[in-house]
Each structure stands twice: as structure tokens, then as C-alpha cells.
Structure 1
Amino acid sequence: MERVAVDDLENSVQAAAVMRGLTEPLGLTDVAINHYELEPGDSFAFAYHNHEVQEEVFYVVSGTATFETESGPVVVGPREAIRFDREEFQRGWNRGDERVVAIAIGAPLDYGTQVKLRDCPECGEETDNDLERPEGEDVVVARCKRCGTETGRWYRGSMDEVP
């Protein structure tokens, strides 16, 4: 048995104000679990994306999350859940005025190959991106796979994407 207090876990550099991973602290080997808190304008992810082998469920504890999907936006309120199948594109946002608290569960633990679509100003369209964590820096940088242009930058605890 493993037990953790979410508030005792380190906040990760993410597109959300708060993302605390429970996977490693709980010693999980087959499923990923993350606790999110999104301020207005925050996102669960760095990009509109999919997972090759992992299906994902988001359970909204409080607030309202809006997910971009291939069939249009889907609004998920408190005490509701949404599931995304393998290779299904999605990106969740807090488009409201109050904080969103949610739990994300993904299985299996491995993502497989991910496609991360972001607008590239150089290419003039949405392109697949790589995410980098430069050594010695507390930042995540998104770069277009096609031309190498930086398309986003996030710092720990920052609520907004830095262009």
C-alpha cells in the first residue's frame, strides 16, 4: 500500500497552474494519474494531441473544463468524466472564470508515439511539435518538427504560456 498527500507533491512545469503527478509517488506500474488545477485560460496539455497506445480519462472535481476534440468542443462540468480513446485528438482548457480541479487517468502507463499539434508562425499552419526540457532550466519549450521554430514556452507555476 502507498499513500500520498497531493499538496505534498512537487508542482510540475506544465500548461496548467498546478500539475502534480501521483504515478511515481504511488508506485504505479500500469496506469498514470495526475492531479490538475487550472486557472482561467490554462490547459491540461502543451498542445492538441493524441496518445498512440494510452486511453485517457479526465474526472472534473470542480469548475468546468472544455475539451477541443475532432468533433468540436465538449464541456465537462463538476462530477463528470470524459474518456479519450487511443489516437483520439484532444486538448482540455479552463475557458471559465473559476479554477478547474481535475484528475487525469491514463492506461497503459506508456503513451507510445504522441502527435502534438501547435500553430507554427514560420510554417503558417498547425504542425507536429517536440517538447524539450533544456538541461539546468525549469522550463518546457515546444518546437515545430518541420522547421525548428519555437511555438511555446512554459515555466513552473506560470499560469500563461509565454510566446
Structure 2
Amino acid sequence: MKRVSVDDVENSIQPAAVMRPLTDALGLTDVALNYYELEPGDSFAFAYHSHEVQEEAFYVISGTATFETEDGPVDVGPNEAVRFDRGEFQRGWNRGDEPVRALAIGAPLEYGNQVKLRYCAACDAETDAELTATSGAEDAVVANCVECGAETGRWVRGSMGGEVP
């Protein structure tokens, strides 16, 4: 048995105020588990995306998460869960006024290829994005368009979710 307090797991740089990756903390080998707290306007993910290999489920503890899907937006409220199949595009947001607390569960642990669609102003289109972590003076995650290389997003440690303008 392995037990961990969510509050003892370091907050990751994400488009959410809080994202605590529980996978390694619990020593999980076959499933990914993440705890999220989204302030209004925050997202679970850096982009509208799909996973080649992994299916993903979200359990909303409190608040209401709105997921962008190919069929339109889907609201998932407290004590509800939603599942996305392999290859199915989605991105979850907190579009409300109250915080959202949720768990994200993915299996198998590996994503396979992941398509991450973000709007690129230089291309004037939704394009796949490459994410890069930086370190040093500014710990950040930066999204760049794979077509032209333009920066399409930046998230900085301590920014409490949301994108840095």
C-alpha cells in the first residue's frame, strides 16, 4: 500500500490553478491520476487534444466543468463523471464563477501520440502545438505552432492557472 496527501504533492505548471500529479507519488504503473483545482477561466489541458492510446475520465468533486467536444460543449457537475475514448478530442474548462475540483484518470499510463490543437494567429488557423518546458529564471511551459513556430501559449509557475499574456 502507498498513501499520500494530495497537499504534499508539488503543484505542476498547468493552465489550472492547481494540478497535483498523483501518478508518481502513488507509484502507479498502469494508470495516470491527477488532482485539479480550476479557478474561473482555467483549463485542465494546454490545448484541445486527443490521445492515441489513452482513454481519459474526469470525476468532478465540486463545481461544474465544461468540456469542449466534437459534438459541442458538455457540462459535468458535482459527483458526475465523463469518459473520453482514445482519439476523441476534448478540453475541459471552468466556465463558471465557482472553483472546480476534479480528478483525471487516464489508462493506460502512456498517451501514445497526442494531437494538441491551439489557435495560431500567424497561421490564422487551429494548428498542432508542441509543448516545451523551460527552466532557469522562469519555469514555464510554452506552446509553439508546429507549422510556423509561433508561440501560441505560455504558462508560468506561480501564475495560478490561465495563460500568461
TM-score in terms of structure 2 length = 0.97
Give the % identical residues.
74
Shift of 1:138: 1.1
Asked if 1:129 is matched to 2:152, the reply is no
Indicate the residue corresponding to 2:74 in structure 1: 74
Q: 1:84: how far off?
A: 0.1
Q: Which residue of 2 aligns with 1:45?
A: 45
Amino acid at match of 1:160: G
Q: Which ranges in structure 2 are unaligned for 5 or more consecutive residues?
A: none
Once the two structures are superposed, residues 74-106 of structure 1 have per-residue CA deviations (whole angstroms, 9 ceiling, x without a partner) of 000000000000000000000000000000000
Paired amino acid for 1:6: V
Answer yes or no: is 1:109 the counterpart of 2:109: yes
Residue ranges of structure 1 left out of the alignment (5+ in a row): none
The CA deviation at 1:162 is: 1.3
Superposed CA deviations along residues 30-88 of structure 1, whole A, max 9, x for unmatched, are 00000000000000000000000000000000000000000000000000000000000
Contact 1:14 1:45 in 2 (8 A): yes
Cα offset, 1:127, TM superposition: 0.1
Aligned residues: 163
Q: Do 1:12 and 1:18's aligned partners in 2 also have CA atoms closer than 8 Å?
A: yes
Partner in structure 1 of residue 152 of structure 2: 151
Question: RMSD in angstroms over aligned alpha carbons?
Answer: 0.7
- 1:34 aligned residue: 34
Whichever residue aligns with residue 8 of structure 1, its letter is: D
- Corresponding residue SS for 2:134: coil
